[in-house]
Structure 1
Amino acid sequence: MHVMFIPSWYHNQRNPVHGSFFKEQALAIQESGVKVTVAYNEIWPLTLLFKVKEKIGLSFKIEENLRTYRYKNFNYLPKNPKMFNIFNKRLDKLYNEIVKKEGKIDLIHCQSSFWAGISAAYISKKYNIPLVITEHSSLDKAVYIKESYKPFIKKSYLDADVLIAVGNGLKKEMSEFSGRNDIRVIHNLIPVENFYISENKNKTFTFFSLAFLEGEKGMDVLIKSFNKYFKNSNSKLLIGGEGSQKEYLINLSKELKIDSKIEFLGALSRKEVSDYMSLCDAFVLASKYETFGVVYIEALASGKPVIGTLNGGAEDIINSNNGLIVKINDIDDLGNAMINIMNNINLYKPEEIRDECIKRFSKIKITNEILEVYNSLLEGRL
């Protein structure tokens, strides 16, 4: 079986961890014995014009053991739906190059409809190849998806032979948008082997939060809650990530005179994420919306209790054995949950939390679910 794996976003020279969970899924599928070739239309914004030193056009490289073909070029029609015609042609060039160099493609699996699913549906129809789309993004919450794009996204959903959502909240949204009632739920694959339980005992109770520092992640609510409930306690808050709100959040912590207890870590490598997850006492993310919540799983794989919100993704992950779920934008509900976790930390058993996480979200489990879709589709059972 030869799968053309198409990510909507992927790592590049400017962002080496972008789309890392796509890469991890492709590697896991390849390790199962499936031939995987990555096809990535690397779209550059016009703001990088005259700044990018890379060569435009087709390129090939084995990247971390994945045979990866890229088509690099600018988006010359930003915010114009006609750009999809250009993207389709670029993916067509990638497809033909891959067939020429790697052989016949049996199945296309793309990650998110915007933009990959739109172009993948075009290739699927043109060359009569089965198509699987796994959606990771919410149409309702996405900042960059204009109304004029939605008919193209809907068409890709309807054209897909199998449509997958990474969480039940996202599945409900996708079903209402597309009218499809046969959407499957397969959670994101997490390399739990990269996370570990630490024997470290902190003298200061340490909360850790990690996300892009944007408004929907609720970091301002977390800081205000931490200020109200932990200002005079033996605790600290570590915040990882970069984003447009970073300066605002730093200034907020200074205004509240709690900046001595909050540390902004900046962008973290995958190894650093693993280390901080293991060294903290509890993980907390007060985001307003999640399609899944990879960071929750990473914390659980490290044996840590987690606090999340009723954001559509956390409900698939957090239960009474591994943490607490609170209301969105509720400073008091969040603060009380954090106090509860801190006061009852000994009731949470790291080994049990990690074992349950592995049973539900391990690489083997999720890969087998994906392979079942592939095999059923190619054997005509779907």
Structure 2
Amino acid sequence: MIKNNKKELSILFLASWYPSDQDPVSGIFIQRHAEAVARFSNVIILFIRYDETIKHRELMHTYENGIHTFRMNIPVDLKSFIVTRNIKNRLINNFFINALYGYNKIVKKFGTPDIIQVNVMKTTMTDMGLFALLIRSFLGIPYVVVEHSNEYLTNIIDFFTLLKVRMILKYAKIVLPVSTILKNSLKSIQNNNYMVVKNVVDTDFFILPKIVHEHQTKIILHVSLLDDFTKNVSGIIQAVSELRKIRNDFELHIVGDGVDKKTLENLAMNLQGNSQYIFFSGALMSEELVKKYQEADVFILNSIQETFGCVVIEALSCGVPVISTRCGGPEDIITPETGILIDLNDKKQLIDAIQLILNKKCVFKPEIMHNYVVNNFGFYIIGKSLMSIYHSIVK
């Protein structure tokens, strides 16, 4: 157990997703939870991923924003692993052996954790949950599960994965989904003690613009990974193309990169013709992304399914009202003071909502939106909420 004058508990985060040099966006919501907890407790991250480009295990230790972070890359030799079933390579590549190696390194350096937090138990990533279950069974260290994955909303889970998930959920001290809809889905798999814990936004970074400029051309903004199957970005493009027949005082800016970017660019090109009003910015990070939010008049999330919607609270923190479909997570976030909820795949409702905001028929106050995010999704409030849960478990 790690002790010092200010921080009472030691929390080990096990993560199958986490930001890295290869993918700085993946699992950023886990990093934000860790940073929230690190304000009150000692947090250590163990992030494990397979890497086909390496031949030997890699374990790197860094200190980031007050958090000791261990990133482990495990080699994958597909030929020996699958075809010849080489025993030596199977042991070298075994997830649990490598996870135990990383865990022992952490314990030797920092002591035994008080609680383990499993982050994202996606159906293809149940090994982290099973490892926490093994640690609990043999060493008596309790674990909690924080879940974000939308796979549990689909109910398409194979039988053996379902058994593993049920076992992990059953023995967790508490299960912490990030939205009500996800809680209900997980509860239908395995009944346990559940509590919704919200995602975090850095309200000192996603801030209101210092100077508000009134501009004739209104900015409609969308930010995502451009997976059209879940984000339905094409529905936004089609809606603004219809709206363009009525008015021409706006632009649509699409931020992000993903599998459907080229297809969406082609769709926009065909619909807008020579009069360009749809712009693709690619993936933006840090200050560039904040600037995009601050310049926007309205943000649109048109998803088919979301367990939360981090972009919603980022936009609100910058004082931008949000139009979102009733796709799961946003129903827990959006209020009449912060945005408009619409039905799935309803182009008319989307166009009407955009009109209401651009015509200022609905008036949203940036300060109220930002303060709402601070009081419900800020580092301090979420960190305190998680610490309360940890203390109840330790007691």
What CA distance in whole angstroms lies between the structure 1 residues aligned with 2:158 and 2:235?
A: 28
**2:149 aligns to what SS in structure 1?**
coil
What CA distance in whole angstroms lies between the structure 2 residues aligned with 1:93 and 1:143?
A: 34
The runs of 5 or more residues in structure 1 that have no matched partner are none
Alpha-carbon offset, residue 93 of structure 1? 1.3
| Runs ≥4 residues deviating over 3 A | 74-78, 140-148
Q: Which residue of 2 aligns with 1:170?
A: 182
Q: Which moved more, 1:108-117 or 1:238-247?
A: 108-117
Matched, 1:41 2:55: no
Alpha-carbon offset, residue 345 of structure 1? 6.3
Among candidates 2, 11, 34, match of residue 19 of structure 2? 11
Q: Letter of the aligned partner of 1:37 in structure 2?
A: I
**1:193 aligns to what SS in structure 2?**
coil
What do residues 46-95 of structure 1 show as CA deviations (whole Å, max 9, x unaligned)? xxx34x5x9623332223442112221145569xxx99x93222221111
What do residues 268-319 of structure 1 show as CA deviations (whole Å, max 9, x unaligned)? 1133222211111111110011111111111111111100011011100111
TM-score scaled to structure 2, two decimals? 0.87
Sequence identity (%): 28
Alpha-carbon offset, residue 119 of structure 1? 2.4
Q: Which residue of 2 aligns with 1:56?
A: 57
Among candidates 211, 233, 238, match of residue 224 of structure 1? 238
**1:184 aligns to what SS in structure 2?**
coil
**2:151 aligns to what SS in structure 1?**
coil
Q: How does 1:200-349 map to 2 (within 5 A)?
A: 200-214=213-227, 215-231=229-245, 232-257=247-272, 260-344=276-360, 347-349=363-365
Alpha-carbon offset, residue 266 of structure 1? 0.8
Q: Letter of the aligned partner of 1:69 in structure 2?
A: F
Alpha-carbon offset, residue 348 of structure 1? 1.1
Q: Which moved more, 1:270-279 or 1:62-71?
A: 62-71
Q: Letter of the aligned partner of 1:91 in structure 2?
A: A
Alpha-carbon offset, residue 23 of structure 1? 1.4
CA contact (8 A) 1:88 1:122 kept: no
Q: Which residue of 2 aligns with 1:186?
A: 197
CA contact (8 A) 2:115 2:142 kept: yes
Q: Letter of the aligned partner of 1:104 in structure 2?
A: T
What CA distance in whole angstroms lies between the structure 1 residues aligned with 2:286 and 2:329?
A: 22
**2:11 aligns to what SS in structure 1?**
strand
Per the alignment, do residues 270 and 345 of structure 1 end up closer, same or farther by CA in structure 2, a change over 3 Å counting?
A: farther
Matched, 1:377 2:384: no
What CA distance in whole angstroms lies between the structure 1 residues aligned with 2:218 and 2:156?
A: 38
Matched, 1:153 2:172: no
Q: Which residue of 1 aligns with 2:4?
A: none
CA contact (8 A) 2:153 2:185 kept: no
**1:283 aligns to what SS in structure 2?**
strand
Per the alignment, do residues 37 and 140 of structure 1 end up closer, same or farther by CA in structure 2, a change over 3 Å counting?
A: closer
What CA distance in whole angstroms lies between the structure 1 residues aligned with 2:279 and 2:135?
A: 47
**1:318 aligns to what SS in structure 2?**
coil
CA contact (8 A) 1:88 1:123 kept: no
Q: Which residue of 1 aligns with 2:3?
A: none
Alpha-carbon offset, residue 141 of structure 1? 5.0
CA contact (8 A) 1:41 1:71 kept: yes
CA contact (8 A) 1:222 1:286 kept: yes
Q: Which residue of 2 aligns with 1:26?
A: 34
What CA distance in whole angstroms lies between the structure 2 residues aligned with 1:144 and 1:94?
A: 32
CA contact (8 A) 2:217 2:251 kept: yes
**1:174 aligns to what SS in structure 2?**
helix
Per the alignment, do residues 369 and 64 of structure 1 end up closer, same or farther by CA in structure 2, a change over 3 Å counting?
A: closer
Per the alignment, do residues 144 and 236 of structure 1 end up closer, same or farther by CA in structure 2, a change over 3 Å counting?
A: farther
CA contact (8 A) 1:21 1:189 kept: yes
TM-score scaled to structure 1, two decimals? 0.90
Q: Letter of the aligned partner of 2:252 in structure 1?
A: L
- Say what the alpha-carbon RMSD is for the aligned residues: 2.3
Per the alignment, do residues 210 and 5 of structure 1 end up closer, same or farther by CA in structure 2, a change over 3 Å counting?
A: same
**Number of aligned positions between the proteins:** 367
Per the alignment, do residues 271 and 148 of structure 1 end up closer, same or farther by CA in structure 2, a change over 3 Å counting?
A: farther
What CA distance in whole angstroms lies between the structure 1 residues aligned with 2:286 and 2:131?
A: 30
What CA distance in whole angstroms lies between the structure 1 residues aligned with 2:106 and 2:333?
A: 38
Q: Which moved more, 1:231-240 or 1:221-230?
A: 231-240
The runs of 5 or more residues in structure 2 that have no matched partner are 1-8, 83-89
Per the alignment, do residues 183 and 274 of structure 1 end up closer, same or farther by CA in structure 2, a change over 3 Å counting?
A: same
Structure with bigger gyration radius: 2
What CA distance in whole angstroms lies between the structure 2 residues aligned with 1:140 and 1:69?
A: 28
CA contact (8 A) 1:282 1:305 kept: yes
Q: Letter of the aligned partner of 1:166 in structure 2?
A: V
Per the alignment, do residues 204 and 366 of structure 1 end up closer, same or farther by CA in structure 2, a change over 3 Å counting?
A: same
Alpha-carbon offset, residue 123 of structure 1? 2.3
What do residues 226-268 of structure 1 show as CA deviations (whole Å, max 9, x unaligned)? 1111354210011111111111100101111257111111111
Alpha-carbon offset, residue 144 of structure 1? 10
Q: Letter of the aligned partner of 1:356 in structure 2?
A: Y
Q: Which residue of 2 aligns with 1:129?
A: 141
What CA distance in whole angstroms lies between the structure 2 residues aligned with 1:339 and 1:56?
A: 55
What CA distance in whole angstroms lies between the structure 2 residues aligned with 1:252 and 1:351?
A: 36
Q: Which residue of 2 aligns with 1:68?
A: 69
